[in-house]
Every structure is written in C-alpha cells, then in structure tokens.
Amino acid sequence: MKKLFLTLSAAIAVTFVANAQTEKGKFILGGNVSYDYTSVKDADIDSHSLGIIPSVGYFVSDNFAVGTGIGYAYEKNTAGADVFSSSNTVHAFSVAPFARLYKGDSNFKFFGQLSVPMAWGTAKADDTKLGNIESYGVELAPGFAYFPTSKIGIELSVRGLYYQNSSIKPEEGSNVTTNSFGLNANSLAPRLGVQFYF
C-alpha cells in the first residue's frame, strides 16, 4: 500500500511540475544554432553556413507563449582553386517572432509553433558588394517537448509547413525574387533543441 501511495504521489508531482512550466506568467528561453558544411571534391566547391538565433518568450496564458528570436546568419561559397578561385558571402541579421501552443498534461507535451522569420543583409562576390538581401516567411512547425526537470524542456520538431519570399536588390540592374513553399515533415531530419522555463 505504501508503494502504491508513493507511486501515485510521484505521478501527481511530475504532472504538476510539467503543467507549472507552461502556465501563465512563466518565461521560455532557448534558441537555435546551426552549422552546415558541403564540399564537392572534384569540382573544388566548398559551402559553409552558420546561424545563431537566441529566443525568448512569455506565457500570456496557460500553455500559450509568444516571443521572438533575434540572430545572425552567415554563408560562404567558394568555387575553384588557386588563382581561379572565387567566393560569395552573405551576412544577414534575422528576426523571428513566434506564437507557441502546448497540449498535454504530463511531462511529454505536443506543441505547434507559428513563426514569421525575416532577414536582411548583404551579398558579396570576393570583396565586391553584389546587393542587399531581404527574406520574409511564415512557418508552422509541430513538435514534442519532454520535461526531465522543472526548468528544462528537450524538444524534437520538424520544419513543417512553410512559405518564404527572398529577394536580392543588386547594385545595378533589377531585383531577383524567389518564392518557395513546401511541407517538410521529414522524421529523419528533425530539429533537436533545449528550452529553459522560468
């Protein structure tokens, strides 16, 4: 009987801790760090990209948070070798406001996040400025959060449904605009993250 009482008490405590993390008035702190490297040996092509976006949110009601991420993105592509090499670089400042809704009553919760990623920056070829870059999008990403403690959530999510409009405004000539839309729910390439709850 004592074991049953202790088991029930532990289950209630875990449920309370998980619910307390996403209640009104709490803060969520986390972010995204990404790095990609691609090399094509026979073509002497290298590509590096780095993104850092810390984020903060506030629970305006139980299980519903709003917030924003502010960060930096860098990309460098190099082609050729020795005297005939060239490189293109992109530096961009990014902002990504979001709203997130949690569902579930245990230490595992499902969430859906709607975000509006935006970026502004410059593109260069070697040391010559090619133009300014702008990017605006909308993304709906599903995921799961596991709460091993009262202050930490480990997340697994996918990109989900997205739309992005990107344009480059060259120093000379007309703008080049690219629109992309898709559903990326690849379970073999998930995003893994850690969030802190206060």
pLDDT in tens, 78-127: 887 655 567 889 999 999 999 999 998 778 999 999 999 999 999 998 88
CATH architecture of structural domain 2-197: Beta Barrel (2.40)
Q: Which residues pair with 176 in a beta bridge?
A: 168
Q: Rounded distance, CA 32 to CA 169, Å? A: 28
- Give the whole-number percent of the chain exceeding pLDDT 90: 49
Check pLDDT > 80 for residue 184: no
Check pLDDT > 80 for residue 187: no
Q: Rounded distance, CA 15 to CA 8, Å? A: 11
Please count the helices (runs of H) and the strands (runs of E) in the chain. 1, 11
Q: Contact 52/30 with Cβ under 8 angstroms? A: no
Q: Residue 35's pLDDT is what? A: 85
The pTM (predicted TM-score) of the whole model is 0.78
Check pLDDT > 60 for residue 2: no
| Mean pLDDT, all residues of the chain | 84
Check pLDDT > 70 for residue 135: yes
| Domain residue extents for the chain | 2-197
Q: Residue 63's pLDDT is what? A: 94
Query: Highest-confidence range of 2-11, 14-23, 33-42, 133-142, by mean pLDDT?
Result: 133-142
Say how many CA atoms lie within 13 Å of 167 toward its Cβ.
8
Strands 45-61 and 86-103: unpaired
Q: Contact 134/170 with Cβ under 8 angstroms? A: no
Q: Residue 138's pLDDT is what? A: 97
Q: Residue 44's pLDDT is what? A: 78
